[in-house]
Structure 1
Amino acid sequence: MSPHVCTVVSCGATKQDLAPGESVPARELYDSSVHTCKDRYGRHSDGYYIMSAEYGLVHNQTELAHYDRTLDDLSDHRTRAWGHDVARDLATILECGGFDAVVLIGSATYVGALEAHFDRFPCAVLTPWQTSEYVTGVGRGMAWCNDESHWPDNVESVAAIGDVVSPAPREV
């Protein structure tokens, strides 16, 4: 039986050009090849969310309008506040959903903003783009996301996805 996994991916810098007032599901807003790979991975999870610099933590089907903000645009104080808010919302989702693990896929900036809060999450935390020896850059991160052997619906244990950062996984 596959573990119950929630995937959270970072937003993307490049987005669809939308008309004023137009919105699309979050997973469709970002149009880079990097996001396409992260999206492919996320769609194979039991829960799939996006951490947006503008909107915080959003479900992949939440309608979003175009925006132009990254965490790099925020002060250290605002980034810490963003990380606190996203971690709070994610902890609630993970608890209510009974997830065995959360896989965080994104840059060191986005994942790093949540790191101080990993102990709030009631399940195993995996950060493959930061901890996998294979992932040495964005290209390898994309390859990791495209490798079906890592997809949550194709594994039999949390450990088969990657290295658990915090805490120990629940038995499945």
Structure 2
Amino acid sequence: MNRPTVCTVVSCGETKQDLPAGETVPARELYDSSVHPCKDRYARHSEAYYIMSAEYGLVRHDTELAYYDRSLDELPEAGVRAWSHDVARDLERVLSDGEFDAVVLIGSETYVGALRSHFDRLPAAVLTPWQTNDDVTGVGRGMSWCNDESRWPENIDSLEEIGEVVSPAPREV
């Protein structure tokens, strides 16, 4: 049996490094909240790792980013819809090009929920462990979930070991 190929997408963080104007860092290093290192640790054990940024949309973890101050919580409903459409379109392309079996979305309900209406168009199974795992009842337990090496994509034999499949990938007929 082949191990499933997994792309992990984590939400950005509200707190960020205070960078001088014009300076950039890799996206995964920009966010400095207490929860981001756990999401980062999990995602680095996937075949691909992206961040859903309120400012930049879907970005690879190593994309150079400058400081920004934007959150989906601050955007009007139309802005969130436009953001989710763009992120879903880009994620659809990433998943198709990489021939992934699944995408794991790790983040708050604000970010994951904004994408929910697009799940059925993604060409891979969608897993949202922070929203569907009964053990994850808060940020601390979400951090613990991410730090559990048995759930890391490189250590699993089936998607069910990560969590509930929310939206199965479309099947060829």
Length-normalised TM-score, structure 1: 0.97
Question: In the alignment, which residue of structure 2 is the partner of 1:31?
Answer: 32
Match of 2:118 in 1: 117
Native 8 Å contact 2:123 2:169 kept in 1: no
1:152 aligns with 2:153: yes
Q: Read off the aligned partner of 1:34 and give its amino acid letter.
A: V
CA pair 93-168 structure 1, distance change in 2 beyond 3 A: closer
1:1-172 to 2 correspondences below 5 Å:
1-167=2-168
Residue deviations 1:99-121 (CA, integer Å, cap 9, x gap) = 00000000000000100000111
Tell me how far apart the structure 2 counterparts of residues 167 and 152 of structure 1 sit (CA, whole Å): 17
* Structure 1, unaligned runs of 5 or more: none
Q: Distance in 2 between matches of 1:35 and 1:90?
A: 21
Instruction: Provide the identity percentage.
Output: 73
State whether residues 101 and 169 of structure 1, in contact with CA within 8 Å, keep that contact through their aligned partners in structure 2. no
Report the count of equivalent residues: 170
Q: CA deviation at 1:2?
A: 2.1
Partner letter of residue 139 of structure 2? Answer: V
Aligned to 1:33, what secondary structure does the other structure show? coil
Do the aligned residues in 1 keep the contact of 2:85 with 2:118 (CA within 8 Å)? Answer: yes
State whether residues 150 and 160 of structure 1, in contact with CA within 8 Å, keep that contact through their aligned partners in structure 2: yes
Supply the RMSD in Å over aligned alpha carbons. 1.1
Deviation string 1:42-87 (CA, Å, 9 cap, x unpaired) is 0000000000000000000000000000001100110011001000
1: distance between equivalents of 2:40 and 2:85? Answer: 24
- Mapped partners of 2:29, 2:140: distance in 1: 21
Q: What is the CA–CA distance in structure 2 between the aligned matches of 1:18 and 1:109, rounded to whole Å?
A: 26
Residue 167 of structure 1 deviates from its aligned partner by: 1.4
Q: Is the 8 A contact 1:7 1:104 kept in 2?
A: yes
CA distance in structure 1 between the aligned counterparts of 2:67 and 2:78, rounded to whole angstroms: 24
